[in-house]
Amino acid sequence: MAMKGFTRKFKPLEIITEEQVEAIHRGILDVLQTTGVRFESKRALKLFEKNDCQVDYDNMRVKFPPGLVEECLRRCPSSFRVKAREPKNDLIIGGNTVYFVASPGMQTVDLDTWEPRPATKKEYYDTVKIMDALPNLHLFCCYTPYFGFEGIPEVMKIPEGLAAKIRNSNKFTWSCFSNDCEIFNIKMVKAVGTETIILAMMASPPLTYYNSAIECAFRTLEADLPIGVDTGTVFGATGPATIAGSLVTYTAELVAGIVLIQLIKPGTRTFIAGFPHPQNMRSGSPAFGDIGISLFDVAFNQICRKYEIPCRNTASAYSSSKKMDFQCGYERGIPAILSAVSGAQFIHVHGGMYGELAHHPIQDILDDDVAGMIGRFIEGVEVSDETLAIDLIEKVGPIPGFYLNKEHTRKWWRKEQFVPEVADRLTYPEWINSGKKTAFDYAKKRMEEILATHKVDPPLTNSQEEDIERILKEAREYYRKKGLITDEEWETYKKVLR
Amino acid sequence: MSNEILENLKKAILEYESEKAANLAREALEKKIDPAKALNVMTEAVRQVGDGFGRGELWLPDLVGAADAMQSAMPIIQKEIERKGMKVETLGVVVVGTVFGDIHSIGKTMVCTLLAAEGFTVYDLGVNVTAEKFIEAVKKYKADILAMSALMTMTAPEQRKVIAILKKENLRDKVKVMVGGGSLTEEFAKNIGADGYDPTAPGGAKLARRLLNK
Ligand code: B12
**∠A88-A89-A93 over CA atoms, to 5°?**
115
Q: Which of A322, A351, A378 is the last residue of a domain?
A: A378
Q: Which of B101, B199, B72 is nearest to A204 (CA)?
A: B101
Domain co-membership, B16 together with B48: yes
The 10s digit of each residue's pLDDT in A217-229 is: 999 999 999 999 9
Q: Residue B150's pLDDT is what?
A: 96
Domain co-membership, A252 together with A293: yes
What domain range is A405 assigned to?
388-453
Residue A346 to residue A88: CA distance in whole angstroms: 18
Position B17 in a domain? yes
Q: Residue B87's pLDDT is what?
A: 76
Structurally, chain B folds into a number of domains equal to: 2
Chain B closest CA to A229's CA: distance in Å? Answer: 17
CA of A309 to the centre of ligand 1 (A): 28
Nearest residue in chain A measured CA to CA from B154: A154
CB A198 within 8 A of CB A225: yes
Q: Residue B85's pLDDT is what?
A: 85
Q: What is the mean pLDDT of residues A156-184?
A: 95
**Closest residue by CA, ligand 1 atom 28:** B107
Residue A196 to residue A190: CA distance in whole angstroms: 9
Domain co-membership, B133 together with B201: yes
In this complex, is the C-beta atom of A211 within 8 Å of any C-beta atom belonging to chain B?
no
CATH number of the domain that B30 lies in?
Answer: 1.10.1240.10
- Interface touch B61/A238, C-beta < 8 Å: no
B182 neighbourhood in chain A, CB within 8 Å: 357
A281 neighbourhood in chain B, CB within 8 Å: 59-61
Domain co-membership, A150 together with A176: yes
Q: Residue A262's pLDDT is what?
A: 98
Domain co-membership, A229 together with A288: yes
Position A63 in a domain? no
CATH number of the domain that B203 lies in?
Answer: 3.40.50.280
Domain co-membership, A108 together with A184: yes
CA of B89 to the centre of ligand 1 (A): 34
Q: Which of B29, B62, B83 is the last residue of a domain?
A: B83
What's the pLDDT band for A353 if we cut at 50, 70, 90? very high
Domain co-membership, B97 together with B79: no
User: What is the strand order of the sheet A37-39 is part of?
Assistant: A54-56, A61-63, A37-39, A208-209
Residue A319 to residue A329: CA distance in whole angstroms: 8
CATH number of the domain that A279 lies in?
Answer: 3.20.20.480
Q: Which of B24, B48, B83 is the last residue of a domain?
A: B83
3-state helix/strand/coil string of chain B:
CHHHHHHHHHHHHHCCCHHHHHHHHHHHHHCCCCHHHHHHHHHHHHHHHHHHHHCCCCCHHHHHHHHHHHHHHHHHHHHHHHHCCCCCCCCCEEEEEEECCCCCCHHHHHHHHHHHHHCCEEEECCCCECHHHHHHHHHHCCCCEEEEECCCCCCCHHHHHHHHHHHHCCCHHHCEEEEECCCCCHHHHHHCCCCEECCCHHHHHHHHHHHCCC
Chain A closest CA to B154's CA: distance in Å? Answer: 5
Question: Ligand 1 pocket check: which of B110, B152, B198, B211 to mutate, most ligand atoms within 8 Å of Cβ?
Answer: B152
Strands A116-117 and A108-109: antiparallel
Domain co-membership, B137 together with B36: no
Find the CB nearest A154 among B109, B153, B182.
B153
CA of A376 to the centre of ligand 1 (A): 36
Residue A142 to residue A145: CA distance in whole angstroms: 8
Position A136 in a domain? yes
Nearest residue in chain B measured CA to CA from A154: B154
Position A460 in a domain? no
How far CA A52 is from CA of A62, A380, A387, B133, B179, in Å, comes to 10, 47, 58, 35, 44
SS3 state of residue A155? helix
Position B168 in a domain? yes
SS3 state of residue A179? coil
Position A26 in a domain? no
Q: Residue B1's pLDDT is what?
A: 56
Position B12 in a domain? yes
CB A374 within 8 A of CB A342: no
Domain co-membership, A135 together with A239: yes
Q: Residue A155's pLDDT is what?
A: 93
Domain co-membership, B115 together with B201: yes
Q: Tell me: pLDDT of A382 over 60.
A: yes
Residue A171 to residue A166: CA distance in whole angstroms: 8
Domain co-membership, A284 together with A432: no
CA of B152 to the centre of ligand 1 (A): 7
A483 neighbourhood in chain B, CB within 8 Å: none
Domain co-membership, B123 together with B180: yes
Q: How many helices (H) and strands (E) does chain A have?
A: 18, 19
Strands B121-124 and B145-149: unpaired
Size of interface A-B (CB pairs under 8 A): 38
Q: Which of B41, B64, B83 is the last residue of a domain?
A: B83
Residue A102 CB neighbour total at 10 angstroms:
30
Phi, psi (deg, nearest 5) at residue A235: -65, 125
Domain co-membership, A326 together with A244: yes
Residue A361 to residue B145: CA distance in whole angstroms: 43
* DSSP, res A472: H
Amino acid letter at A254? L
In whole numbers, what is the pLDDT of chain A averaged over residues? Answer: 96
Question: Ligand 1 pocket check: which of B63, B104, B114, B176 to mutate, most ligand atoms within 8 Å of Cβ?
Answer: B104
Domain co-membership, B185 together with B114: yes
Residue B4, classified by CB atoms within 10 Å of its CB into exposed (0-12), middle (13-18) or buried (19+), is exposed
The 10s digit of each residue's pLDDT in A384-442 is: 999 999 999 999 999 999 999 999 999 999 999 999 999 999 999 999 999 999 999 99
Domain co-membership, B39 together with B139: no
* DSSP, res A385: H
Position B88 in a domain? no
* DSSP, res A351: T
Domain co-membership, B126 together with B207: yes
Position B100 in a domain? yes
Position A191 in a domain? yes
Question: Ligand 1 pocket check: which of A176, A181, A202, A212 to mutate, most ligand atoms within 8 Å of Cβ?
Answer: A202
Domain co-membership, A86 together with A161: yes
- Interface touch A234/B106, C-beta < 8 Å: yes
Low-confidence ranges of chain B (pLDDT < 70): 1-2
Mutate to test the interface with A, among B114, B154, B158 (most CBs of A within 10 A): B154
**H helices present in A179-265, as ranges:** 182-191, 211-222, 243-264
Q: Which of B172, B173, B197, B174 is nearest to B186 (CA)?
A: B197
Which stretch, A142-146, A470-474, B78-82, B99-103, has highest mean pLDDT? Answer: A470-474
Contacts for A46-52: CB closer than 8 Å, 24+ residues apart: A47/A260, A47/A263, A47/A264, A48/A259, A48/A260, A48/A263, A51/A263
Q: What residues form DSSP beta bridges with A208?
A: A38, A204
Q: Residue B190's pLDDT is what?
A: 94
A357 neighbourhood in chain B, CB within 8 Å: 182
Position B45 in a domain? yes
* Cβ of A310 less than 6 Å from ligand 1: no
Structurally, chain A folds into a number of domains equal to: 2
Chain A closest CA to B8's CA: distance in Å? Answer: 27
Residue B3 to residue A488: CA distance in whole angstroms: 64
* DSSP, res A76: S
CA of A283 to the centre of ligand 1 (A): 13
Strands A61-63 and A37-39: antiparallel
Domain co-membership, B24 together with B129: no
**C-alpha neighbours within 13 Å on the C-beta side of residue A342:** 25
Residue A252 to residue A232: CA distance in whole angstroms: 12
Computed on alpha carbons and rounded to an integer, the radius of gyration of chain B in Å comes to: 18
* DSSP, res A345: S
Domain co-membership, B70 together with B130: no
The 10s digit of each residue's pLDDT in A239-285 is: 999 999 999 999 999 999 999 999 999 999 999 999 999 999 999 99
Domain co-membership, A154 together with A281: yes
Position A367 in a domain? yes
Q: Residue A130's pLDDT is what?
A: 98
- In our burial notation (b when 16+ CB lie closer than 10 A, e otherwise), range A337-353 reads bbbbbbbbbbbbbbbbb
Q: Which of B114, B108, B101, B130 is nearest to B182 (CA)?
A: B108
* Cβ of B178 less than 6 Å from ligand 1: yes
Ligand 1 atom closest to residue A231's alpha carbon, by position in its atom list: 11
Q: What residues form DSSP beta bridges with A264?
A: none
Domain co-membership, B73 together with B99: no
Chain B closest CA to A205's CA: distance in Å? Answer: 9
Q: Is the peptide bond before B157 cis (omega within 30 degrees of 0)?
A: no
The 10s digit of each residue's pLDDT in A308-324 is: 999 999 999 999 999 99
Domain co-membership, A105 together with A148: yes
What single string gives the DSSP state of each residue in A14-55? -SS-HHHHHHHHHHHHHIIIII-EEE--HHHHHHHHHTT-EE
Q: Which of A320, A347, A378 is the last residue of a domain?
A: A378
Domain co-membership, A153 together with A189: yes
Position B67 in a domain? yes
The 10s digit of each residue's pLDDT in A93-113 is: 999 999 999 999 999 999 999
The 10s digit of each residue's pLDDT in A283-312 is: 999 999 999 999 999 999 999 999 999 999
What domain range is B180 assigned to?
93-211
B103 neighbourhood in chain A, CB within 8 Å: 204, 208, 210
Domain co-membership, A327 together with A369: yes
Contacts with A493 (C-beta within 8 Å, 6 or more apart), sequence order: A151, A152, A153, A156, A476, A485
What single string gives the DSSP state of each residue in A309-339? --BEE-TTT--S-SSSSHHHHHHHHHHHHHH
Contacts with A189 (C-beta within 8 Å, 6 or more apart), sequence order: A162, A166, A175, A195, A196, A225
In this complex, is the C-beta atom of A155 within 8 Å of any C-beta atom belonging to chain B?
yes
The 10s digit of each residue's pLDDT in A114-123 is: 999 999 999 9
